[in-house]
A and B are shown apart, each in its own frame.
Chain A
Amino acid sequence: MYKSLAEAIRDAEGSGRTLSQTALDMESADQGRTVEDIRSVLARALGIMRGAVEQGMVGDLYSASGLVGGDAAKLRTGPPGPLAGTPFRDVLARALAVQEVNAAMGVIVAAPTAGGAGVLPAVLTGLAASKGFSDDKLVDALAAAGLIGAVIAERASLSGAEGGCQAETGAGAAMAAGSATEMLGGTPSQAGHAIALTLQGMLGLVCDPLGGLVELPCVFRNATGSAIALAGIEMALAGVTFAIPVDEVIDVMGEIGREMDVRYRETAGGGLAATPTGRRLARERLYQIKRGG
């Protein structure tokens, strides 16, 4: 797989292909599998993603600690805000839905990770629904997202324990932004700018879950991460460019992650987890989990 997005974008534009096609061709060559076979695995992932969105929208799932759940349904049926009826609100609801399923030990697709699994399905299925796009387009988008995630894994990290939340929801948002930009008709270069514009907005984000559980703030970070991805997509499609090349933005994400104090890397030693209320809730709720609910 590619280790540089600049290289992938050059290859794609040099041969008149999309990033998705470039990703599928490279994966096919790397793994000795047909493009059709790879697409069928991605189609299964798409089905699981859709299932998680639907399951989470119902609003009857709660996490082991009871700290999260039911909020996706509020966005679906609750009072309107300024963005009611727009794809923006729908994407937020979908991101919460997938993460609520995840926190309840339901089945999701870890793309790139379980903690950051809400952003990609929310942005892709939400925008595709608003445009009436086919599943084929979504499968293509997942291939491009996989390429973007693979480059981030290679150059930086996809682990909150290594690189903070920027490496999980940040990477998820970058994958969503690049793949959706192309799905919506953007060029590979525009997809690159969407990734850079999105990831710059996620830099430095710490991983600070209460009690170390993938619940709070993770569920909400997937919604706000989706919002940043939508901002990156909107700007890139409007022709906005980002002066720092996308690979360098990814590299610096990795560097910031390595420099991040261990308290901010999934250990529940800092950030929201270490606030007075964060500590109290973790104490009470973890006790509840040990007692079996």
Chain B
Amino acid sequence: MVSLLDIIGPVMVGPSSSHTAGACRLGLLGRGLVSGTPEKAVLELHGSFARTGEGHGTDKALAAGLLGFKPDDERIRTALEIAEREGLDYRFEKAALGEEAHPNTVRMTLDHGDVHATLTGSSLGAGRILVTEIDGFPVEVTGSFHTIVMVAEDIPGSIARITGILAEHRINIATLRLTRKQRGGDAFIVIECDEPPGEGVRDEVRALSWVRWARRLDKVSGQ
């Protein structure tokens, strides 16, 4: 659902809402996925991101997002220098991610401490983004909500337990998706929430023996 505030916005550093602001938001989600500034980031740019990214500051904006800067942060202009100072070892590559991929797509491979993750996301225009892959699982994350992503054993009652924890903390669920690669294999769960899940939710979810890992991606879109 498109919000009129998504159209009259974002407030951002130019020059391109898809190549600069959208790229920054994708970087922010990547940062959330590994819970902090990664030490190492390989960023594969596809389509228009690859062809016109440099002149649009796409490289600066992706690095800025990984550093935790928001799209209206004027430090975006010097984000590559800041990344070098802060120990973010980045590498940009041009990649062909297939005919199906949106023209403005990036695939990130990120390492932070012992967390390793991949994320593929696209910038749809007007600063709107869509993450389509996390760690090989197909997902749809818009960044317009506070999002929980987790990998859990595929056992009966897992969703009931997790939604129970959210209900206890009075967190309302906007969308919930479960995907799995095979029956009995790991399930990948994406929950978009209206309210930000706090540390209490995180600790209770992580304490479940059948949850392999769980992370919170902060809302990056919307005003």
Q: Which residues of A line the B interface, CB within 8 A?
A: 1, 23, 27, 30-32, 38, 41-42, 44-45, 48, 63-65, 101-115, 117, 142-143, 145-147, 149-150, 153-154, 157-162, 167, 175, 209, 211-215, 265-268, 286, 289-290
Contacts and interface: CB of A to CB of B under 8 A. Distances in A.
A265 B10 CA distance: 22
B13 A27 contact: no
B74 interface: yes
Contacts of B125: 113, 153, 157-162, 167
Contacts of A112: 7, 17, 126
A30 B2 CA distance: 9
In the A-B complex, the 4 residue pairs with the closest CB atoms: A212-B52, A159-B125, A146-B4, A102-B14
Given A159-B126, A211-B55, A266-B48, A110 B10 contact: yes
Contacts of B11: 44-45, 48, 107-110
Nearest to A63: B15
Q: A101, A142, A266: which has the most chain B beta carbons within 10 Å? A: A266
B51 interface: yes
Given A114-B17, A289-B54, A212 B48 contact: yes
A94 to B, nearest CB: 16
B21 A114 contact: yes
A81 B76 CA distance: 39
Contact of A286 (B5, B55, B103, B126): B55
Contacts of B20: 114
Nearest to A40: B223
Nearest to A101: B14
B18 interface: yes
Given A114-B15, A114-B20, A153 B4 contact: no
A30 B13 CA distance: 28
Contact of A110 (B12, B47, B52): B12
A2 B52 CA distance: 33
